[in-house]
Amino acid sequence: MSQNRDGFTSTFGVLVATLGSAVGLGNIWKFPYLTGTNGGASFLVVYLLATLLVALPVMMTEIMLGRASRANAVTAFEKLAPKNQKFWTVIGYMGLVSAILILAFYTGVAGWVFAYIFKSLSGSIHSTDPATAKAAFDAMVSNPMQALFWQWVVLGGAGVIIMLGVSKGIEAVAKKLMPLLFLLLVLLCIRSLTLPGAMAGVEFLFAPDFSKITAPVVLTAVGLAFFKLSIGMGTMLTYGSYFRQEQNIPATATRVMLADLSVSMLAGLAIFPAVFAFGFEPSAGPSLVFMTIPAVFASMPLGNVFMAIFFVLAAIAATGAILSILEVPVAMMSERFGFSRKLATLISVGIIGLFGVPAMLSSSLTADWKLFGLNAFDLFDFISSNILLPLGGILICLFVGWVYGLPQLKKQLSNEGQLNNGLLINAVFVLVRYVTPIIITVIMLRGLGLF
Ligand code: PHE
């Protein structure tokens, strides 16, 4: 099968496509809003620790499992686990569930971004006034037809791109536009940081108040670290399966992590100074970015034009991430059930669209549909980020640490001895065998209030 699989065509292409999966609404939308609702700087500290100690080793090993098996997330464990241990394929199936739950709300938020492109051009969100910004956002999300229409535009578009295939579709889109997004974020930061009263936002982001750290906050930080690096559900495994044999996996993972982190930090520095300068609420939740970013643009010359460009780039970043998530069910269905990529895409998009309805109507028709006090939008997010991804992470660690083993890990991560990174591999092994799974387990039990 492996010789027929499509794959990335250059080392740089691999880096950019992986980055295209990692950088998305997680950086621009979720990171700022969760930092805002969970206490600012102290949350950032926990998030950084979670990324280094928990997420990075999982990322390296997950990519490695993909490249070693050259298969989708279910088949990978079938190939790599001993014959009598097929239960490891559960990791792949959990990933399938995560992919559907995440896309049910993620494509909707991407839809909001698309809608905001047009709103920027029409001037209707050109304001620094918190009440006006909130009214504009609420009007959009509480209108059922608007919310669903944009989600379907996004889902349809992503489906078409996926049908074109891996290297052509994903690489081409991701390669060109990431640097531009980066530049525009830098511009936003400069404007935001030079607003009168901006320093209160900097303080919020960098002066930690550790009393704000609770068990659920820590679990949220871990979940965010997984979500942002696209790990724990087979996305990175699937991408790893398209990696070139000579790609340096630990180096690629580290670079992607650092780049992903810098985009988030830029987003934080673009948003929080403005939040305090204009009197927004840092704990506004999912609406935070959609209210604050327009305010920053409204306070610079040619704001409407730059704002439209910003939302176009954010939409493209979101699309890169969406494509990587969609690739999980599509690769799985086409390789395991022999469906054509086209049929697999259509089925996936259909199921996601179905789950998307209650998620996107959470501010209107289905606002009262609640489970554990969460509406469908928040519930899908909670189950995927705070339960399924960390659980997937634990299982990946246990598989690599106790079943796959050090000799194989060494062989894979050193590219059969060509890379001189033995020390690093030993450290990764100790982490995934003992440290990371224990940390995640404790955090999950405490964060979910089970212990
Ligand atoms: N990492 C992406 C983002 O930050 C989202 C994502 C989650 C992508 C899970 C793939 C898998 O936007």
Determine contact, residues 22/175, Cβ cutoff 8 Å: no
Tokens of 68: 């070693």
Burial class (CB in 10 A: 0-12, 13-18, 19+), 59: buried
HSE of 277, CA atoms in CB hemisphere, 13 A: 22
Segment 301-319 shows an average pLDDT of: 91
> Which residue owns the Cα nearest ligand 1 atom 6?
230
In ligand 1, which atom is closest to the CA atom of 26? 4
* Ligand 1 in reach of 324 Cβ (< 6 A): yes
Short-list 270, 194, 320, CA closest to 31:
270
Residue 374's DSSP bridge partners are 371
* Ligand 1 in reach of 392 Cβ (< 6 A): no
Determine contact, residues 298/127, Cβ cutoff 8 Å: yes
Q: How far is residue 53 from each of residues 206, 222, 440, measured CA to CA in Å?
A: 21, 10, 10
The span from the first CA to the last CA of the chain, in angstroms, equals 46
Determine contact, residues 33/268, Cβ cutoff 8 Å: no
Residue 397 has pLDDT above 90, yes or no: yes
Residue 169 has pLDDT above 70, yes or no: no
Q: Which of 51, 237, 325, 352 to mutate to test the pocket of ligand 1 (most atoms within 8 A of CB)?
A: 325
In ligand 1, which atom is closest to the CA atom of 325? 10
Tokens of 386: 């705070």
Q: What digits encode the pLDDT tens for the residues 22-73?
A: 999 999 999 999 999 999 999 999 999 999 999 999 999 999 999 999 999 9
* Ligand 1 in reach of 238 Cβ (< 6 A): no
In ligand 1, which atom is closest to the CA atom of 389? 9
Residue 170 has pLDDT above 60, yes or no: no
Tokens of 321: 């991430």
> Which residue owns the Cα nearest ligand 1 atom 9?
230
* Ligand 1 in reach of 319 Cβ (< 6 A): no
143 by DSSP, 3-state: which?
coil
Q: What digits encode the pLDDT tens for the residues 96-123?
A: 999 999 999 999 999 999 999 999 999 8
pLDDT band at 2 (very low <50, low <70, confident <90, very high): very low
Q: What is the crossing angle of helices 199-206 and 249-278, to 10°? A: 140
Q: Does 395 or 4 have the greater pLDDT score?
A: 395
Q: What digits encode the pLDDT tens for the residues 247-258?
A: 999 999 999 999
Q: How far is the CA of 27 from the centre of ligand 1 (A)?
A: 9
Q: What digits encode the pLDDT tens for the residues 216-255?
A: 999 999 999 999 999 999 999 988 998 989 999 999 999 9
Q: What digits encode the pLDDT tens for the residues 64-91?
A: 999 999 999 999 999 999 999 999 999 9
| pLDDT confidence of residue 168 | 61
CA distance 62 to 302: 44
Determine contact, residues 111/151, Cβ cutoff 8 Å: yes
Q: Which residues, 6 or more positions from 289, have their beta carbon under 8 angstroms from its beta carbon? A: 28, 29, 32, 33, 267, 271
Segment 392-413 shows an average pLDDT of: 97
Residue 180 has pLDDT above 90, yes or no: no
* Ligand 1 in reach of 102 Cβ (< 6 A): yes
- Its sign, for the CA torsion 86, 239, 395, 330, is negative
Segment 187-208 shows an average pLDDT of: 96
* Ligand 1 in reach of 325 Cβ (< 6 A): yes
The residue whose two tokens read 């097929």 is 86
For a pLDDT cut of 90, what percent of the chain falls above it?
A: 78
Q: Quote the pTM value.
A: 0.94
Q: What digits encode the pLDDT tens for the residues 353-379?
A: 999 999 999 888 888 888 888 999 999
In ligand 1, which atom is closest to the CA atom of 24? 12
Per-chain mean pLDDT for the chain: 92
| pLDDT confidence of residue 365 | 80
In ligand 1, which atom is closest to the CA atom of 31? 4
Q: What digits encode the pLDDT tens for the residues 277-306?
A: 999 999 999 999 999 999 999 999 999 999
CA distance 399 to 62: 10
For a pLDDT cut of 70, what percent of the chain falls above it?
A: 96
Residue 164 has pLDDT above 80, yes or no: no
Segment 182-210 shows an average pLDDT of: 95
CA distance 94 to 389: 9
C-alpha dihedral (418, 422, 426, 429), degrees to nearest 10: -10
Burial class (CB in 10 A: 0-12, 13-18, 19+), 449: exposed
Q: How far is the CA of 249 from the centre of ligand 1 (A)?
A: 19
Lowest mean pLDDT segment, chosen from 15-19, 131-135, 223-227, 434-438: 15-19
Neighbours of 32 (CB within 10 A): 25
Q: How far is the CA of 324 from the centre of ligand 1 (A)?
A: 8
Short-list 405, 425, 404, 401, CA closest to 415:
425
| pLDDT confidence of residue 372 | 86
In ligand 1, which atom is closest to the CA atom of 29? 12
In ligand 1, which atom is closest to the CA atom of 317? 12
Identity of residue 356: G
Neighbours of 433 (CB within 10 A): 18
* Ligand 1 in reach of 26 Cβ (< 6 A): yes
Q: What digits encode the pLDDT tens for the residues 423-441?
A: 999 999 999 999 999 999 9
Q: How far is the CA of 26 from the centre of ligand 1 (A)?
A: 6
| pLDDT confidence of residue 270 | 96
The phi-psi region of residue 408 (left if phi > 0; otherwise alpha if psi is between -120 and 50; otherwise beta) is alpha
